[in-house]
């Protein structure tokens, strides 16, 4: 361990989260594109600790694999049946070798807005003051539910009392325990062996370590967070939503400070994993998720949701749902388009109104303007696909590809029955069903010559409005003749 760098960070994620009323573990609920636990591990790993430990118990079969996905180097430790944060910490530190010394940071997996910077400040204060314990605190107007910080006459932290164990006088204290501590490792090991379960919840409280330090004459420090949101935990769905809104507000303010125009922040949601370039415009009703990246001068929205989508410079994406797609520079997409995984739209291309694409590579300058489905297809540069076209890629057993060459002009209401290839420069007539390859430069038609059955309506549907209208028109034409 070096100065301002912890020997270990212990993340306590063993709780049941019963107030969430959810089949999913509390720490696996998400805000801003990461799980609660993911946010905490991201902040903790930013400290570059020698060891990162996550203590689990409730729904371990779900939480432990998630830790492995997020941070394969993290050590997963199981808490036993003895309840309480003190026991969770004891299990975590016992997983480390006995010669680990220096600063041990303890935090929680359900406090998602904590930052590496604030945790680093806590560690710096702890080391500079040579404390045995340093607690991160917050001043709350409504401290209900939190452990209260009790200070002595000199202002030092003397104890932390839990809400359920506090007297009426103690409950009036507004400085609260965040649950985030920096400890001297040797002191922590010894103190954890001295705490019991003689309290209202019959749990081993980690906060009892503070009282032990005071009894032993060891220094206990407190760093009051200037940003109370970084100490807010999630216990209910309402708290999850509140923290999600606050995280989103901060993300949008950060992007606006870097030159992104957000027309209506109250209806715009951007995950923390999203990347935006300067001069991007986000119109109302936009949601950007996952690994989405938007390049300069692109305009997104209104009413657009993109997940893992790359958007090129100067593109326009309007009222569109996209997942796993690539949109090139200066492209036009929407309104009411659906871009499914594997869609790649080349520079200056167009995917228009009520068009769905899947595993489709649409080259530079090519256009699919209206009312079409393009699946498992490639469309060459400069080609135009007529309105109402279906790429029939599925034969009931397997998917098959369609290839449309460069500078092709296909008619409206075409069906391409895959596998089929349309040669460069070819055209197709309106209503054509293409079942065979079309040579370059050819015109493909599959409809017969138009023919008429005269007086069909009058004979087959006499007395109907259509028959009456037809008869009246014939009479008018005969009269004019």
Which residues are part of the catalytic machinery? 370
Asked if the bond preceding 346 is cis, omega within 30° of 0, the reply is: no
Instruction: Kindly write down the DSSP assignment for every residue of 48-97, as one continuous string.
Output: --SEEEEEE-TTHHHHHHHHHHH-TTSEEEE--SS-SHHHHHHHHHHTS-
Structure tokens given for 295: 């390049």
Beta-carbon count within 10 A of 104 CB? 30
DSSP-assigned beta bridge partners for residue 220? 133
Half-sphere exposure of 455 (CA within 13 A, CB side): 3
The helix (H) or strand (E) run that includes residue 102 is none
Q: How far apart are CA 56 and CA 270, in angstroms?
A: 30
Which of 440, 416, 436, 417 shows the shortest CA–CA distance to 427?
A: 440
Q: 63 to each of 15, 24, 58, 245, 326, how far by Cα in Å?
A: 11, 10, 8, 24, 32
Give me the helices (H) in 162-215, please. Answer: 168-171, 185-192, 208-215
CB 157 within 8 A of CB 220: yes
In angstroms, the Cα distances linking 286 to 33, 441, 476 are: 15, 43, 57
Residues 449 and 153: their CA atoms lie apart, in Å, by 101
How far CA 234 is from CA of 108, 173, 333, 379, in Å, comes to: 10, 21, 39, 49
Q: Is 227 helix (H, G, I), strand (E, B) or coil?
A: coil
Instruction: Please report, to the nearest 10 degrees, the dihedral formed by the alpha carbons of residues 325, 329, 331, 333 taken in order.
Output: 40
CB atoms within 10 A of CB 466: 11
Q: How many CB atoms lie within 10 A of CB 439?
A: 14
Nearest to 191 by CA among 163, 165, 162, 220: 220
């Amino acid at each position: 361990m070096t100065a301002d760098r912890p020997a270990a960070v212990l993340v306590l994620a063993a709780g049941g989260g019963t107030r969430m009323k959810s089949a999913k573990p509390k720490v696996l609920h998400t805000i801003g594109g990461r799980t609660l636990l993911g946010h905490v591990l991201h902040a903790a790993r930013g400290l570059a600790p020698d060891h990162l430990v996550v203590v689990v118990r409730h729904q371990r079969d779900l939480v432990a694999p998630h830790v492995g996905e997020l941070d394969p180097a993290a050590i997963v430790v199981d808490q036993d049946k003895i309840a309480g944060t003190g026991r969770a910490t004891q299990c975590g530190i016992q997983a480390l070798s006995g010669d680990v010394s220096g600063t041990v940071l303890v935090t929680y997996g359900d406090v998602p807005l904590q930052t590496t910077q604030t945790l680093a400040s806590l560690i710096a204060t702890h080391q500079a003051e040579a404390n045995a314990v340093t607690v991160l605190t917050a001043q709350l107007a409504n401290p209900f539910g939190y452990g209260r910080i009790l200070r002595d006459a000199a202002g030092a932290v003397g104890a932390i009392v839990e809400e359920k164990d506090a007297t009426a006088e103690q409950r009036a204290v507004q400085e609260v325990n965040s649950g985030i501590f920096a400890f001297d490792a040797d002191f922590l090991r010894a103190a954890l062996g001295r705490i019991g379960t003689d309290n209202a919840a019959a749990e081993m409280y980690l906060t009892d370590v503070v009282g032990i330090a005071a009894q032993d004459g060891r220094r206990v420090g407190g760093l009051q967070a200037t940003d109370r949101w970084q100490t807010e935990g999630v216990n209910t769905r309402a708290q999850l939503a509140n923290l999600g809104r606050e995280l989103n507000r901060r993300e949008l303010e950060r992007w606006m400070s870097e030159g992104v125009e957000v027309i209506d922040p109250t209806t715009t949601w951007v995950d923390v994993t999203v990347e935006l370039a300067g001069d991007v415009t986000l119109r109302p009703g936009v949601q950007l998720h996952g690994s989405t990246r938007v390049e300069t001068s692109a305009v997104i929205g209104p009413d657009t949701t993109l997940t893992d989508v790359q958007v090129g410079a100067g593109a326009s994406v309007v009222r569109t749902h996209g997942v796993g797609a690539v949109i090139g520079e200066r492209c036009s997409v929407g309104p009411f388009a659906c871009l499914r995984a594997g869609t790649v739209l080349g520079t200056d291309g167009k995917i228009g109104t009520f068009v769905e694409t899947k595993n489709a590579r649409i080259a530079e300058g090519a256009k699919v303007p209206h009312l079409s489905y393009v699946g498992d297809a490639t469309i060459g540069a400069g080609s135009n696909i007529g309105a109402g076209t279906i790429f029939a890629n599925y034969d009931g057993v397997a998917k098959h590809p369609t290839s449309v060459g460069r500078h092709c002009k296909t008619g409206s209401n075409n069906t391409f029955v895959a596998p089929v290839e349309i040669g460069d420069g070819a055209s197709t007539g309106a209503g054509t069903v293409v079942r065979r390859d079309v040579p370059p430069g050819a015109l493909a038609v599959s409809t017969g010559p138009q023919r008429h059955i005269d007086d069909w309506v009058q004979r087959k549907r006499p007395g109907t409005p259509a028959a009456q209208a037809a008869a009246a028109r014939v009479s008018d034409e005969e009269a004019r003749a």
